[in-house]
Amino acid sequence: MKLRLLIMWGVAVLVLVVTNVLIVQKERLLASPQGILLELAPVDPRSLIQGDYMALAYAITREVPEQGLPTDGQLVVAVGVDNVARYLRVYAPSTPLASGELLLRYRIRAGRLHIGSESFFFQEGTADAYEKARYAELRVDSAGESLLVGLRGPDRELLGMPKQP
């Protein structure tokens, strides 16, 4: 009985530690000064908004040659003055990054190239505020990990509900 209780507490502590480590990692990424915009690719409008989320597809994934790509890796993107990232090449560690270039992590799952989040969740009843979305705003760290922080319209204006003070 004592061993069972000890194991139960050990598992609970492990879950709390892992959860807190993941939270700290995401908070650091969110605080990252490097933000980029990725152009969104059209998605079937009948399934664009389902319930309280929007399915996202990134235009950049259509430019990447998928033949011979490892299942996990990094892309090199150039960030222009408009802050929109454009695909340059698949990252090779032997080639250093030039000024204005960033890494963006990708994964290939079920034969599809995935970059970052593929869903944007929003408050119920606010779907109209996101209909004009043309860009996804991401925070990116030096290793290419990204975190979706918002959607932007055709003129790169922030979409959504105004923040409460």
Average pLDDT, the chain: 84
pTM of the complete model: 0.73
The tens digit of pLDDT for each residue in 76-98 reads 999 988 899 999 999 998 999 99
* Residue 6 burial by Cβ neighbours in a 10 Å radius (0-12, 13-18, 19+): exposed
Q: Is the pLDDT of residue 50 over 70?
A: no
Of the pLDDT bands very low, low, confident and very high (cuts 50, 70, 90), residue 161 is low
- Write down the pLDDT at residue 46: 41
The tens digit of pLDDT for each residue in 98-152 reads 988 999 999 998 888 999 888 887 777 777 888 888 999 999 988 889 999 889 9
